[in-house]
Amino acid sequence: MQITVSTVVAAPIAEVWRAYNTPADIRVWNTASPDWHTTASSVDLRVGGRFSSRMEAKDGSFGFDFAGEYTRVDPPRLLEYRFGERVGRVEFTPTPQGVHVTVSFDSESTHSEEQQRAGWQAILDNFARHVAVRGAAA
C-alpha cells in the first residue's frame, strides 16, 4: 500500500530542493517529534547514489538508520528512491503559494497506516517550517 503526505513550502523551488537534499539541513528538520533528532546524514544525489539518516531518541533509548538508493533524480522536480524492499517518491511542484511537496512511499507492516502517515507528515511539516525560518533569516 502506498501512503502519501504533502505540504506547501513558501519558498522558491531551488531553495526547497536544496534544503531537502543537504545533510546539514536534513539533520535539523528530519524529526517526527521533539524527543527525536537526526544525528547524522549523508546524500549522494545521483541515480545509484546512496542516502542515509541516523534517527535517535534524544534519551538514547532507541535509534535507527533510514537509508537507501536513489533510482531517479530530476532536479528540482522529482526524487525516487528504494529503501529496502520499499520505494519512495518526492515531487516538488511550483504553485502560486509556494512549492507543493508530495511524498509517497510504500507502507510497512510494523506500524499502522495512521502511525506511518502521522510520522511522515510531521517530518514534512518540520521541513516546511525549517525552510520558512531559513527564508525569514536571509
3-state secondary structure the chain: CEEEEEEEECCCHHHHHHHHHCHHHHHHHCCCCCCEEEEEEEECCCCCCEEEEEEEECCCCCEEEEEEEEEEEECCCEEEEEECCEEEEEEEEEECCEEEEEEEEECCCCCCHHHHHHHHHHHHHHHHHHHHHHHHHC
Mean pLDDT for the stretch of residues 9-28: 97
Rounded distance between C-alpha atoms, residue 73 and residue 115, angstroms: 28
Asked if residues 121 and 32 have their Cβ atoms less than 8 Å apart, the reply is no
Q: How much is the pLDDT for 123?
A: 96
52-93 residue pLDDT tens: 999 999 999 999 999 999 999 999 999 999 999 999 999 999
Asked if residues 41 and 26 have their Cβ atoms less than 8 Å apart, the reply is yes
Counting every residue written for the chain, the total comes to 138
* pLDDT at position 7 over 60: yes
* pLDDT at position 37 over 80: yes
Is this model's pTM higher than 0.75 or not? yes
The least confident of 21-35, 106-120, 123-137 is 123-137
Which CATH superfamily groups domain 2-32+71-137? START domain (3.30.530.20)
Q: How much is the pLDDT for 137?
A: 57
* pLDDT at position 138 over 60: no
Q: How confident is the model at residue 134 (pLDDT cuts 50, 70, 90)?
A: confident
